Structure 1
Amino acid sequence: MFKVNKKVKILGVVILTVTGVYIGLEYVLPLFAPFIIAYLIAAALLPLVRFLNQKLRLPKLLGAILSLCLLSALVGFIVYYVCDMLLQQVVALLKNFPIYLAVLTGYIDSLCSGCDKVLGIKLGTVQNFIYTNFDGVLIVIKNKIMPVITTRSINLLIGMVGFIGILLIMLVSILLLIKDEEQYKEGVRNSYFYKDIQIVTSKLSHMGKAYLKTQGIMLLFISLICTLSMFLIHNKYALLVGIGIGVVDAFPILGSGMILVPWAIISLFQKDVYSAAIILTAYVSCMLLRNTVEPRLFGNRIGIKPVYTMMAMYVGVKVFGLFGFLLGPVGLVMIVTIIKEAVNRIDGRKVPEVTPDNQE
């Protein structure tokens, strides 16, 4: 009877934990996301603020403002540089668009002629079919898609105004968190649920560091693979392109295949088999590295088997969308930690207190 009751309790804990974590990540997290980000930024700026306070005797609020200004200037410079570079490339693309369109038209004509020969039909049949339907596509874009884009642009403008408001709230929160850090820490330590929350937050902190380290390692190796492949095909911008593909690959929805696969196909159409083979080899290497090495690195660092980490990433993307790539493992760590703690308490075992010395 005792064993049955124990199993029922554990099952109840599992169901409640999974449900609670899902509700927390899906509905509660978006409400507190700005303040969580503000806390993380404040924690990153605290060492500099303390240095300014101890060495230069600057008040914490003044040090926080100065540190925040430096961070904002750095981020602003990077954003400005990236946007300026993208704008220049867009202008260059628009200037050369007629040339690219002519080249693309030539490829389409060659492909259509090849299809005519393979199918044994009159030359020009496939070409006429494509161009006739292309006119219909243009009409659909003009009458249906363009109005939707216009409406979305208005919604985007409204969203930008809201984003600015959220950004101001975050900036004020960062300053307040840094200014009164000791009071907030004391209040948290005196909380009745402090020890219970610390067990989960310490695990999440460890997971966050593991995630950043893993992504850094993956970015380095994938950038090296792509840069080497660019050197092998004698690309003038090998280093820039290699790093750029490595950055794109870090985004789960995009991936290196978004650039490398079309590039390889174009190379094949140009009858450059060597370049196509190198680029496809680079893509396969990046894909294998991302799908095998990353879960192993990440899983080993957070104490979860790689296959479970991969499952968590997959389920996270399916349930939460783009950010589920990170929220999936976060939810898994929360579920495992809470269930382990609950099972230990059901068994009557004392759980060791989490301190900086014994954190995983």
Structure 2
Amino acid sequence: MLLLAMIVLLIVFNPGSLGWIIDAFKPVIYALIIAYLLDSLVAFFMRRLKVRRTQGIFLACIILIGIIGTVVYEVVPRIVENINNIMNFIMGGNVDVVQIVTNIKGKIDHPYVAYAADYILEASESVTGIINTLLLQLSNILMRLVTGIGSKTFTVATSFIINIYMLVEKEDILARGRRFISAYFDEKKAKKTLHAFSRANAIFKSFLNGKLLDSAIVGIICVIVFYVFKVPYAPLMGTIIGFFNVIPYFGPIIGSVPVILVSFFVDPPKALTALLIILVVQQLDANLLDPRIVGNNVGVSPFWIITSVTVGGNLFGVPGMVLGVPVVVLIKTIVEESVEMRLIEKGICDLEKENLKEEKKKKEKKKVKKKML
């Protein structure tokens, strides 16, 4: 408790120390994230294979090592090669907007295409500069990402070791947390706090585990299909789609922009191929994969999703866009539970219930079941 108070005071009186504190605790933070994600896999092995927790942890860690090894030795080299090729393509001055637009105008006889082509040709110099800048920035970002992975090997290795101890001592850590909350809060507040943590755990695990698995499948499908249809730099482009798919609603749009842009300037007809593949895969994901993998445990209306992604992105960037949805779902759930309890105490628990979207969906499901019977 004294250590926590000292850290808070240090941050308040010296805001610049926050970055230093985060850097110091990075291995522990990474370990906590890894342990949190692996815990579901450990529980799965314990439930399905009837093994002890230590055996489940061993199996989960072996799988994680296998995935990391495959990515490092098979996927990363291909992605680095793709990034180098893109940078060489850009630096070599191969992006000739005038030639590309002229070819498209000659192949597609349509007034709208001709109008757009003429407009681009008139502003060809400025357009070329903007496009080259965007492509160069994309390449630099990707290269920094790959080199950053290599420079953080020691931190990741340390985090992996700490993660194992966290998984082994899970019950002890949770018990100490419950004791701490019960010691510093009265019984009623302690119950509410523990309930909030329980709800948060269920929502975050359901969303993060499901979304990561869903995005991995989407990325693999895109890599394979891109490769089959000869979309330029298939491993890198598929990885980009899978990475941004973690972000609800806006992710597929953000991920498709660099893919289509690079494809267009390397091989223009392939840009349309890439767009069609992305649309088909996203429809498959939205209607089949996402509902089955992520499920309805974090289901909220598009209004809440778009709001949470927008606000989270503005405040915390990409992490905020990813975590915005479960955070908003958690807040919404806790507030609604509190409202429900207050209304029950006042004897008006059915107030405006008929106008709630969730209640309307429940009624529709009941009607469907009755018709089926």
TM-score by length of 2: 0.51
The separation in 1 between residues aligned to 2:283 and 2:201, in whole angstroms, is: 28
* DSSP 3-state at the match of 1:304: coil
The separation in 2 between residues aligned to 1:287 and 1:169, in whole angstroms, is: 37
Residue of structure 2 in register with 1:40 after alignment: 36
The separation in 1 between residues aligned to 2:331 and 2:89, in whole angstroms, is: 52
Number of corresponding residues? 284
Q: Do 1:264 and 1:280's aligned partners in 2 also have CA atoms closer than 8 Å? A: no
Cα deviation code 1:51-98 (max 9, x no counterpart): 9xx97x9x95x996786466335413422322222344456678x859
Going from structure 1 to structure 2, the CA distance change for 1:173 and 1:347 (only over 3 Å counts) comes to farther
Residue of structure 2 in register with 1:86 after alignment: 79
Q: How do residues 149-160 of structure 1 correspond to structure 2 at under 5 angstroms?
A: none
Going from structure 1 to structure 2, the CA distance change for 1:307 and 1:226 (only over 3 Å counts) comes to farther
2:313 to 312, 317, 331: 317
The separation in 1 between residues aligned to 2:159 and 2:277, in whole angstroms, is: 41
Shift of 1:281: 3.8
* DSSP 3-state at the match of 1:322: helix
Answer yes or no: is 1:203 the counterpart of 2:226.
no
Answer yes or no: is 1:327 the counterpart of 2:318.
no
Shift of 1:255: 0.6
Residue of structure 1 in register with 2:166 after alignment: 177
Going from structure 1 to structure 2, the CA distance change for 1:263 and 1:168 (only over 3 Å counts) comes to closer
Residue of structure 2 in register with 1:256 after alignment: 256
The separation in 2 between residues aligned to 1:264 and 1:174, in whole angstroms, is: 43
The separation in 2 between residues aligned to 1:337 and 1:319, in whole angstroms, is: 22
2:210 to 206, 210, 213: 213
- Which has the larger displacement, 245-254 or 291-300? 291-300
Q: How do residues 285-304 of structure 1 correspond to structure 2 at under 5 angstroms?
A: 300-304=296-300
Q: Do 2:226 and 2:234's aligned partners in 1 also have CA atoms closer than 8 Å? A: no
Task: Read off the aligned partner of 2:297 and give its amino acid letter.
Answer: R
Cα deviation code 1:279-326 (max 9, x no counterpart): 444455567788999999979432422321122112111121011122
Q: How do residues 1-360 of structure 1 correspond to structure 2 at under 5 angstroms?
A: 33-34=29-30, 36-41=32-37, 43-44=39-40, 46-47=42-43, 60=54, 68=61, 71-72=64-65, 74-89=67-82, 101=92, 104=95, 108=98, 163=152, 166-167=155-156, 170-190=159-179, 191-192=181-182, 195-208=191-204, 209-214=206-211, 216-217=213-214, 220=217, 234-235=229-230, 243-244=238-239, 246-250=241-245, 252=247, 254-264=254-264, 267-268=267-268, 272=269, 277-283=272-278, 300-344=296-340, 346=342, 349=345
The separation in 2 between residues aligned to 1:49 and 1:173, in whole angstroms, is: 21
Task: Read off the aligned partner of 1:260 and give its amino acid letter.
Answer: I
Q: Do 1:224 and 1:242's aligned partners in 2 also have CA atoms closer than 8 Å? A: no
Shift of 1:109: 6.1
Cα deviation code 1:141-175 (max 9, x no counterpart): 9xxx9xxx9xxx9xx98x987x5675465345323
Q: Which has the larger radius of gyration?
A: 1
Point out which structure has higher relative CO (alpha carbons under 8 A, 6+ apart): 1
Q: Do 2:223 and 2:239's aligned partners in 1 also have CA atoms closer than 8 Å? A: no
Where does the alignment leave 5 or more consecutive residues of structure 2 unmatched? 1-17, 105-114, 116-121, 347-373
Q: Do 1:220 and 1:246's aligned partners in 2 also have CA atoms closer than 8 Å? A: no
* DSSP 3-state at the match of 2:255: coil
Q: Do 1:261 and 1:280's aligned partners in 2 also have CA atoms closer than 8 Å? A: no
Q: Do 1:312 and 1:328's aligned partners in 2 also have CA atoms closer than 8 Å? A: yes
* DSSP 3-state at the match of 2:297: helix
Shift of 1:46: 4.3
RMSD: 5.8
Residue of structure 2 in register with 1:356 after alignment: none
* DSSP 3-state at the match of 2:72: helix
Task: Read off the aligned partner of 1:312 and give its amino acid letter.
Answer: S
Residue of structure 1 in register with 2:118 after alignment: none
Where does the alignment leave 5 or more consecutive residues of structure 1 unmatched? 1-25, 119-124, 351-360
Shift of 1:333: 2.1
* Identical pairs, percent: 15
TM-score by length of 1: 0.53
Going from structure 1 to structure 2, the CA distance change for 1:225 and 1:109 (only over 3 Å counts) comes to closer
The separation in 1 between residues aligned to 2:264 and 2:70, in whole angstroms, is: 34
The separation in 1 between residues aligned to 2:321 and 2:32, in whole angstroms, is: 18
Q: Do 2:308 and 2:325's aligned partners in 1 also have CA atoms closer than 8 Å? A: yes
Q: Do 1:64 and 1:179's aligned partners in 2 also have CA atoms closer than 8 Å? A: yes
The separation in 1 between residues aligned to 2:226 and 2:46, in whole angstroms, is: 46
Q: Do 1:263 and 1:279's aligned partners in 2 also have CA atoms closer than 8 Å? A: yes
